């Protein structure tokens, strides 16, 4: 599933491919990814307008058109944003194509179609769409982070992946951050000490910076992510056998030796 680093990568694709370019044509190949707007409404709202600098909040990407409408994109589990040339073959999962002024094509590609595109005509509509989102995980201050976690009664992993608490973290990032911070995923968020909060915040920031630079949550050998899918996974830090469990319906991987609290 695309998480904050992936969506930040899609923001860069949008910025380099489309910023400053006029939208000549919008081709909707599958209206099933549109929410609250039909193909004709999307075309009428966007054709002839120019993409401006995009923004991201958590896992949401905001494709702005200056003083015009904003396209909000969410990538679900399999979505991507691709910059193509006119001669590139259209792939089966290319759902919406934005044909730009120099012939480039910005393509929303998604196999499972679990999310998609929304159209907001002004900033109030953008705000309404994002009103249930917590602060962005890459921009949140330490004080905001500590306040958000201290108010949660459930497990710390559940709090980290709750988009209304903190926007942008998914399953892989949460497990990676907790492993680095040496905190068990089933620790109660409200029971964490201030030192735990600070350590968790520090490792979240470091992990996000590294992952954003890679454009994904990288499966590196020194990362928990690089071993979680091994047949018999072991901790890259201490060599202990990793444990698997399910938490709020999500597969969770952790090290009982490195993450002993809980």
Which residues carry out catalysis?
2-3, 59, 250
Long-range Cβ contact pairs of 81-89 (< 8 A, separation 24 or more): 81/10, 81/13, 81/14, 81/106, 81/107, 81/108, 81/109, 82/13, 82/106, 82/107, 82/109, 83/13, 83/16, 83/17, 83/18, 83/107
For residues 141 and 8, give the distance between their C-alpha atoms in angstroms, rounded to a whole number.
19
The terminus-to-terminus CA distance of the chain in angstroms comes to 27
DSSP per-residue codes, 48-60: T-B----EEETTE
């Amino acid at each position: 599933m695309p998480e904050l680093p992936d969506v930040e990568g899609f923001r860069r694709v949008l910025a380099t491919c489309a910023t400053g370019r006029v939208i000549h044509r919008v081709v909707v190949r599958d209206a099933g990814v549109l929410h609250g707007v039909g193909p004709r409404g999307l075309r009428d709202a966007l054709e002839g307008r120019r993409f401006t600098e995009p923004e991201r909040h958590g896992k949401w990407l905001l494709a702005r058109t200056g003083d015009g409408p904003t396209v909000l994109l969410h990538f679900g589990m399999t979505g991507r944003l691709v910059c193509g040339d006119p001669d590139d073959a259209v792939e089966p999962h290319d759902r919406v194509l934005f044909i730009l002024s120099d012939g480039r094509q910005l393509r929303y590609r998604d196999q499972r179609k679990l999310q998609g595109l929304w159209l907001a005509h002004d900033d109030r509509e953008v705000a309404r769409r994002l009103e249930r989102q917590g602060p962005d995980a890459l921009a949140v201050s330490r004080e905001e982070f500590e306040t958000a976690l201290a108010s949660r009664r459930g497990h710390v992993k559940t709090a980290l992946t709750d988009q209304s608490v903190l926007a942008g973290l998914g399953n892989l990032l949460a497990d990676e951050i907790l492993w680095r911070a040496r905190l068990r995923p089933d620790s109660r968020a409200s029971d964490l000490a201030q030192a735990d909060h600070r350590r968790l915040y520090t490792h979240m920031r470091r992990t996000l910076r590294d992952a954003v630079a890679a454009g994904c949550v990288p499966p590196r050998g020194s990362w928990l992510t690089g071993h979680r899918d091994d047949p018999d996974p072991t901790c890259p830090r201490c060599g202990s056998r990793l444990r698997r469990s399910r938490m709020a319906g999500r597969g969770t991987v952790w090290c009982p030796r490195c993450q002993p609290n809980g």
